[in-house]
């Protein structure tokens, strides 16, 4: 049985591995200079602390302070840090770090656009791995060959679905690891880890989306028995469910919290630190004398993995349901 | 009832059509049955029911004393219509697949057979001829050492030479085994040489089933004078078909005794005549009824 699966799907597997190699080359090729730049700017060291600061000094608004530091070639000592009167050294370091991060993120504005393309990648697994799995057998009539051997259709279905899912999960693991390495500097400097693009293309949700798309394709193929309708159904179903969960459900995974920013000191031109990555659902503002503050309704960044886990669980559960449906349908199928 | 394939009220309805309509029959073990009927008569549906590919709507079908599908599939060999094979597999890989998917599978036998009939084992099957593909499919089914072999229109897409080769390969494979074989076809001529039983299916109903020699002995062609009404002839069980010529009427009848009425001349029939008579959509009865009405 395993041999048959290998024999039938080895070309697809080879193709997927080749695609992974291409992705890998792209990630390494563009990721190396990006990581170099990230490290040279000292961001790995300063970001964890700077992210925690509720407000930062707006260096751009300070008279007589330098703009973003030029990136120095390796081996050249940094010039002594200029000081700003009235701002302590730690706050200044945070402010510089935030400034560096902004500059870095500004240089990699294209990455979210690449991310946009990666959003549809799981769907391709459903279209090209899932949909043909049963549909192609039915279209070619070979189900009449393979379902009339001495092995039960139930075993055929569970082995086939199981092994293909496993293979796709392994491929996804490699892909997700490469992608996460590649994109983390950009996510870290964006402060938008919860955004629709970043949240959806990295972390564990990718596994959920991939198995969901795959299972959807398999079921569509088993029900329609035709490849093209199954592929179309996969596209429509995947995009529909993803949008529904993303726009209507994700917000409600956990209760929101409110955060009141410290008073934003007008004399120092401090500003809200957007780098921490909280998901800001709503904002309000207030004034106290000479200074103002903001009231933010947020999903805090520390709940990021909870959100990822819930979203993954939703899609894995859907996928299991679809796979059970596909198995049932394959067994009962009228040919 | 005993038999390799026993149906009791077997019915299969699709959304709008009835493919099998209350079929009851028993195919005896070790018989070689020609299952004949026009396209759409329900032959494929019947064979698919026997493999578990199709579930009956009503009634039961017993295969080798068991349920169709998983429980009996290891003992049933099946070659579907157009002999579907994985087109990118070589014959050798298909045999390997057969070995993996069947607990009992005679791989050396299968390889030797294919070599015998001159089929290259290492060529993808989409580069084999239709006849060669049919041979590979047959070989896959025979290597299971089945007790029941079902072949759905095995000759339809083959040229005459390939048909002959296929049938002789089949008879070789069947000869020493105690195997029941059901071959379907819309033409009897293909199968007449090899079968010892005949089953005629029309519009989802079994018209007749029996050993060919008995069928030949039982059916007669009668030619006699035109009748004012439906003729009652002693020894005739059923008028299967009727045709009227100018001054005579010609009947094909199933007998249940000797026909002694001197008004009728009796002639022997061929198996082909029997099949055609049963496949005629009851034109005989209509013709006779018409005469009754006119009288």
Q: Is A75 on the interface with B (CB under 8 A)?
A: no
More confident residue, B286 or B247: B247
Q: Is B87 on the interface with A (CB under 8 A)?
A: yes
DSSP sequence for B245-283:
-SS-EEEEEEESS----TTSEEEE--HHHHHHHHHS-SH
Q: Is A149 on the interface with B (CB under 8 A)?
A: yes
Q: Chain B window 12-31: which residues touch A at a Cβ cutoff of 8 Å?
A: none
Q: Do A151 and B102 touch (CB under 8 A)?
A: yes
pLDDT confidence of residue B184: 94
Q: Answer for the pair A47, A188: CB distance below 8 angstroms, yes or no.
A: yes
Domains of chain B in start order, with CATH, are: 5-203 (3.40.50.300), 214-279 (no CATH)
Q: Is residue A94 part of a domain?
A: yes
CA distance B248 to chain A (A): 49
Q: Is B100 on the interface with A (CB under 8 A)?
A: yes
Mean of pLDDT values over B13-32: 93
Q: Is residue A283 part of a domain?
A: yes
Q: Is residue A41 part of a domain?
A: yes
Counting every residue written for chain B, the total comes to 295
Q: Is B51 on the interface with A (CB under 8 A)?
A: yes
How far does CA A200 lie from the centroid of its chain? Answer: 4
Q: Do B78 and A148 touch (CB under 8 A)?
A: yes
How far does CA A333 lie from the centroid of its chain? Answer: 37
Q: Which residues of A touch B76 (CB under 8 A)?
A: 148
Structure-block tokens of residue B220: 């007669």
The complex's ipTM works out to 0.89
Nearest residue of B to residue A137 by CA position? B86
Q: Is B144 on the interface with A (CB under 8 A)?
A: yes
Name the band, by pLDDT with cuts 50, 70 and 90, for residue A96: confident
Q: Is residue A73 part of a domain?
A: no
What's the domain range around A86? 2-65+81-332
pLDDT > 90: percent of chain A = 61
pLDDT confidence of residue B294: 43
pLDDT at A62 over 80: no
Lowest mean pLDDT among A6-20, A273-287, B198-212: A273-287
Q: Which residues of B touch A332 (CB under 8 A)?
A: 55
Q: Is residue A74 part of a domain?
A: no
- Count Cβ atoms below 10 Å from residue A295 Cβ, excluding itself: 13
Most A-contacting residue of B20, B45, B79, B84 (CB-CB within 10 A), to test interface: B84
Most confident of the ranges A87-96, B162-171, B172-181: B162-171
Q: Do B101 and A334 touch (CB under 8 A)?
A: no
pLDDT > 70: percent of chain B = 94
B77: left (phi over 0), alpha (psi -120 to 50) or beta: beta
Q: Is residue A287 part of a domain?
A: yes
Q: Which residues of A112-122 are buried (b: 16+ CB within 10 A; e: fewer)?
A: bebbeebbebb
Name the band, by pLDDT with cuts 50, 70 and 90, for residue A268: low
User: What total of structural domains would you count in chain A?
Assistant: 1
């Amino acid at each position: 049985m395993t041999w048959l699966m290998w024999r039938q799907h080895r070309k697809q597997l080879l193709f997927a591995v080749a695609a992974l190699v291409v992705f890998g080359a792209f990630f390494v090729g563009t990721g190396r200079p990006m990581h170099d730049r990230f490290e040279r700017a000292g961001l790995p060291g300063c970001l964890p602390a700077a992210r925690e600061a509720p407000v930062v000094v707006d260096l751009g608004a300070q008279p007589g302070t330098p703009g973003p530091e030029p990136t120095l070639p390796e081996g050249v000592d940094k010039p002594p840090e200029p000081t700003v009167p009235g701002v302590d050294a730690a706050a200044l370091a945070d402010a510089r770090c935030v400034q560096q991060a902004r500059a870095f993120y500004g240089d990699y504005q294209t990455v979210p656009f690449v991310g946009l393309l990666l959003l549809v990648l799981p769907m391709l697994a459903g279209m090209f791995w899932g949909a043909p799995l049963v549909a192609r057998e039915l279209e070619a009539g070979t189900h009449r060959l393979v379902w009339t051997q001495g092995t039960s259709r139930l075993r055929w279905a569970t082995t086939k679905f199981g092994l293909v899912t496993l293979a796709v999960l392994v491929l996804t693991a490699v892909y997700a690891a490469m992608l996460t390495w590649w994109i983390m500097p950009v996510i870290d400097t964006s402060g938008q880890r919860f955004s629709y693009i970043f949240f959806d293309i990295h972390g564990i949700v990718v596994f959920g989306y991939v198995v969901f798309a795959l299972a959807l394709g398999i079921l569509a193929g088993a029900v329609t028995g035709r490849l093209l309708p199954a592929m179309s159904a996969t596209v429509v179903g995947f995009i529909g469910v993803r949008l529904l969960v993303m726009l209507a459900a994700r917000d409600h995974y956990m209760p929101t919290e409110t955060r009141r920013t410290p008073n934003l000191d007008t004399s120092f031109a401090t500003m809200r630190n957007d780098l921490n990555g909280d998901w800001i659902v709503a904002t309000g503002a207030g004034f106290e004398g000479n200074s103002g503050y903001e009231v933010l309704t947020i999903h805090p960044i520390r709940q990021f993995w909870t959100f990822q886990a819930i979203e993954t669980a939703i899609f894995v559960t859907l996928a299991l349901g679809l796979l059970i449906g596909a198995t049932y349908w394959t067994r009962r199928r009228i040919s | 009832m005993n038999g390799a394939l026993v149906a009791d009220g077997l019915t299969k309805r699709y959304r709008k059509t009835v493919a099998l309509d209350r079929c009851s029959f028993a195919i005896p073990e070790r018989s070689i049955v020609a299952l004949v009927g026009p396209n759409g008569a329900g032959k494929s549906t019947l064979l698919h029911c026997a493999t578990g590919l199709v579930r009956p709507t009503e009634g039961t079908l017993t295969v080798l004393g068991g349920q169709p599908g998983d429980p009996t599939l290891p003992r049933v060999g099946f070659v579907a219509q157009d002999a579907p094979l994985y087109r990118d597999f070589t014959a050798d890989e298909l045999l390997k697949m057969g070995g993996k998917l069947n607990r009992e599978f005679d791989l050396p036998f299968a390889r030797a057979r294919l070599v015998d009939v001159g089929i290259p084992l290492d060529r993808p099957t989409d580069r084999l001829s239709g006849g060669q593909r049919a041979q590979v499919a047959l070989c896959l089914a025979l290597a299971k050492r089945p007790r029941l072999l079902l072949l759905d229109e095995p000759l339809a897409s083959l040229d005459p030479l390939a048909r002959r080769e296929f049938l002789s390969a089949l008879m070789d494979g069947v000869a020493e085994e105690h195997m029941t074989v059901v071959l379907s076809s819309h033409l009897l001529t293909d199968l007449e040489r090899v079968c010892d039983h005949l089953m005629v299916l029309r519009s989802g109903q079994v018209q007749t089933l029996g050993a060919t020699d008995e069928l030949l002995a039982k059916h007669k062609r009668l030619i006699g004078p035109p009748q004012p009404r439906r003729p009652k002839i002693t020894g005739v069980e059923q008028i299967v078909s009727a045709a009227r010529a100018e001054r005579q009427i010609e009947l094909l009848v199933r007998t249940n005794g000797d026909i002694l009425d001197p008004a009728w001349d009796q002639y022997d029939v061929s198996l082909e005549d029997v099949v055609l008579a049963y496949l005629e959509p009851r034109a005989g009865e209509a013709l006779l009824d018409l005469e009754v009405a006119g009288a």
